[in-house]
């Protein structure tokens, strides 16, 4: 597909824009939509398929197919329903996203971190860590089913205010109205934007920019806040202030057609010194980290103190162990240790990079779990190590010492990892 464009189309969309959108979709991978077409199948006739997307979008005749409903388990229990668009629809959505994102993102406030270029969840964790040292109380809030419940009228009011591109606006309206196919049944939608859609994150950010971010800045300019999609925190000076804010925010969300999650929203005492009195909540989880009082080392004075700091949450640790367990390493006896390392290292590298940013030592139990799986593999593979855990551990340590780069968690946690 060339980068040339024609002048006989009502909408001027460059073919290069469609190709760039395809490359972004390819990098994100993704499952097949309602048509069953995978990315690999789409690429077998890439030029023709991209031309179809461009031709329909530039002529105004592109109508999105239903999104496929896929239920995935939540780490905290229950299920989340994702709406998976077709490959062609993901590319079309990416064309619009890349068109509107520069202008919309420039509107958003610094403490909105979710789904934004140049910002990350770790940035949000870092700023929360600093603020917990300065403020004794935090309101942790969660919006119940944000993506599923966004009111179309209010959302489109914001979109029309800031999106000048006529064809981008047209297709956003069509995507919001696109039905969902669940278990073979097509279900019409009157609210929400499917979680899993390419344009959904930026649309939800635009809605929350007005529903929470600007409202918070206008009504409580003295209270720092942080939001990542539907999860947010507001730091308060005392419990009474946090209670009042909780009531105000609940009413604000209702006015915007949303609802504060009744069980995931709570007020937390987060003073880093010794607590006076008893408080029901002194711990909160945010973006995979758990914030709570911990024993922290002062390396300059060679002493310890009680600090309110983040580390990988128990839920995140459980999820990581479950992922490792699913590899069934002890039964991969026909393979080699190097082949197991190829499976483990990308996972470990990602976890260490994210959960090791703060309180890396908390991941040592994960390293121990990996080592137990490797020891079990050794004991099953070689008869001489059966019923000899210590010898098996020493053998794994010997192999790792001979090849220091074999497992990334050994490098991350020191030479005693395989002890």
**For residue range 219-277, what is the model confidence (pLDDT) as tens digits?**
999 999 999 999 999 999 999 999 999 999 999 999 999 999 999 999 999 875 555 55
Beta strands across the sheet bearing 180-182: 79-84, 67-73, 180-182, 185-187
pLDDT given for residue 377 in this prediction = 87
Residue 386 backbone phi and psi in degrees, to 5:
-60, 130
- The Cα–Cα gap between 318 and 75 comes to 9
Pairing of strands 67-73, 180-182: parallel
- Mean pLDDT lowest for which of 34-38, 311-315, 395-399? 395-399
Residue predicted with more confidence, 298 or 173: 173
pLDDT of 183-198, one tens digit each?
A: 888 889 899 998 889 9
- Checking if the pLDDT of 303 tops 70, the result is no
**Same domain flag for 359 and 234:** no
**Same domain flag for 239 and 317:** no
- The Cα–Cα gap between 45 and 24 comes to 18
- Evaluate whether residue 170 is within a structural domain: yes
Which residues are 309's β-sheet partners? 292
pLDDT given for residue 414 in this prediction = 57
C-beta separation of 317 from 365 below 8 A: yes
pLDDT of 343-359, one tens digit each?
A: 999 999 999 999 999 98
Residue 312 backbone phi and psi in degrees, to 5:
-50, 130
Alpha carbons within 13 A on the beta-carbon side of 22: 20
- Checking if the pLDDT of 382 tops 60, the result is yes
- The Cα–Cα gap between 78 and 69 comes to 16
* Angle of the 166-177 helix axis to the 152-162 helix axis, nearest 10: 170
Share of the chain above pLDDT 90, in %: 66
**Same domain flag for 230 and 338:** no
Domain boundary pick from 214, 230, 256: 256
- Evaluate whether residue 267 is within a structural domain: no
**Same domain flag for 248 and 125:** yes
Domain boundary pick from 232, 256, 280: 256
- The residue count for the chain: 419
- The Cα–Cα gap between 50 and 95 comes to 12
- Checking if the pLDDT of 417 tops 80, the result is no
Confidence band, pLDDT 50/70/90 cuts, at residue 80: confident
Mean pLDDT score, 45-55: 97
- Checking if the pLDDT of 23 tops 70, the result is yes
Mean pLDDT score, 143-160: 96
Residue predicted with more confidence, 361 or 271: 361
Q: Kindly list the distances between the CA atom of residue 84 and the CA atoms of 45, 179, 273, 406, in Å, as whole numbers in the listed order.
A: 22, 11, 47, 37
- Checking if the pLDDT of 43 tops 60, the result is yes
- Evaluate whether residue 265 is within a structural domain: no
As a dihedral over the C-alpha atoms of residue 195, residue 227, residue 208, residue 241, rounded to 10 degrees, the angle is 140
pLDDT given for residue 419 in this prediction = 43
Confidence band, pLDDT 50/70/90 cuts, at residue 361: confident
Alpha carbons within 13 A on the beta-carbon side of 163: 24
**Same domain flag for 252 and 319:** no
- Evaluate whether residue 61 is within a structural domain: yes
Q: For the chain, how many structural domains are there in total?
A: 2
**Same domain flag for 396 and 320:** yes
**Same domain flag for 329 and 240:** no
**Same domain flag for 220 and 334:** no
**Same domain flag for 98 and 212:** yes
- Evaluate whether residue 281 is within a structural domain: no
- Evaluate whether residue 274 is within a structural domain: no
- The Cα–Cα gap between 145 and 139 comes to 19
Domain boundary pick from 211, 228, 256: 256
- Evaluate whether residue 171 is within a structural domain: yes
**Same domain flag for 172 and 84:** yes
- Checking if the pLDDT of 94 tops 70, the result is yes
- The Cα–Cα gap between 192 and 204 comes to 9
Mean pLDDT score, 149-170: 96
- Evaluate whether residue 10 is within a structural domain: no
- The Cα–Cα gap between 283 and 228 comes to 19
Mean pLDDT over all residues of the chain? 89
Residue predicted with more confidence, 411 or 120: 120
**Same domain flag for 67 and 172:** yes
- The Cα–Cα gap between 17 and 153 comes to 29
Written as one string, the DSSP assignment of 119-167 is: --HHHHHHHHHHHHHH-SEEEEEEBTTHHHH-BHHHHHHHHHHH---HH
Mean pLDDT score, 80-94: 92
- Checking if the pLDDT of 147 tops 60, the result is yes
Supply the range of the domain harboring residue 356. 313-418
- The Cα–Cα gap between 366 and 216 comes to 39
**Same domain flag for 21 and 167:** yes
Residue 263's Cβ-count burial label (10 Å; 0-12, 13-18, 19+) is: exposed
Is 0.85 surpassed by the pTM of this model? yes
């Amino acid at each position: 597909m060339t980068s040339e464009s024609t002048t006989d189309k009502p909408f001027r969309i460059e073919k290069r824009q469609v190709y760039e959108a395809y490359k972004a979709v390819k990098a994100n991978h993704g499952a097949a939509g309602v048509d069953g077409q995978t990315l690999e199948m789409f690429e077998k006739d890439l030029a023709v398929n991209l031309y179809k997307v461009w031709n329909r979008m530039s002529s105004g005749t592109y109508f999105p197919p239903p999104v496929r409903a896929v239920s995935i388990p939540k780490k905290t229990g229950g299920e989340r329903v994702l709406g998976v668009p077709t490959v062609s629809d993901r590319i079309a959505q990416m064309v619009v996203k890349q068109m509107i994102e520069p202008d919309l993102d420039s509107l958003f406030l610094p403490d909105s971190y979710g789904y934004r270029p140049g910002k990350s969840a770790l940035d949000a964790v870092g700023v929360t860590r600093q603020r917990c040292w300065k403020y004794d109380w935090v309101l942790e809030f969660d919006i119940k089913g944000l993506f599923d419940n966004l009111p179309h009228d209010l959302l489109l009011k914001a979109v029309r205010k800031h999106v000048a591109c006529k064809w981008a606006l047209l297709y956003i309206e069509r995507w919001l109205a696109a039905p969902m196919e669940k278990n073979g049944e097509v279900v019409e939608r009157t609210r929400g934007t499917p979680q899993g859609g390419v344009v959904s994150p930026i649309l939800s950010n635009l809605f929350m920019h007005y529903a929470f971010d600007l409202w918070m800045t206008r009504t409580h300019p003295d209270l720092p806040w942080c939001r990542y999609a539907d999860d947010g925190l507001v730091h308060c000076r005392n419990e009474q202030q946090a209670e009042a804010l909780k009531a105000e925010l609940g009413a604000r969300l209702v006015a915007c057609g949303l609802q504060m999650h009744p069980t995931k929203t709570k007020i937390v005492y987060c003073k880093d010194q010794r607590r006076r009195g008893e408080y029901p909540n002194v711990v909160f989880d945010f973006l995979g980290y758990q914030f709570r009082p911990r024993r922290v080392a002062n390396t300059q004075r060679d002493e310890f103190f009680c600090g309110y700091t983040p580390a990988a949450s128990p839920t995140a640790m459980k999820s990581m162990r479950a992922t490792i367990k699913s590899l069934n390493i002890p039964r991969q006896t026909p393979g080699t240790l190097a082949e197991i390392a190829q499976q483990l290292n990308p996972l470990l590298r990602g976890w260490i990079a994210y959960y090791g940013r703060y309180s890396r030592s908390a991941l040592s139990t994960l390293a121990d779990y990996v080592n137990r799986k490797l020891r079990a593999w050794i004991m099953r593979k070689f008869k001489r190590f059966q019923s000899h855990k210590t010898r098996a551990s020493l053998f794994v340590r010997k192999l790792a010492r001979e090849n220091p780069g074999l497992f990334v968690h050994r490098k991350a946690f020191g030479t005693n990892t395989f002890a």
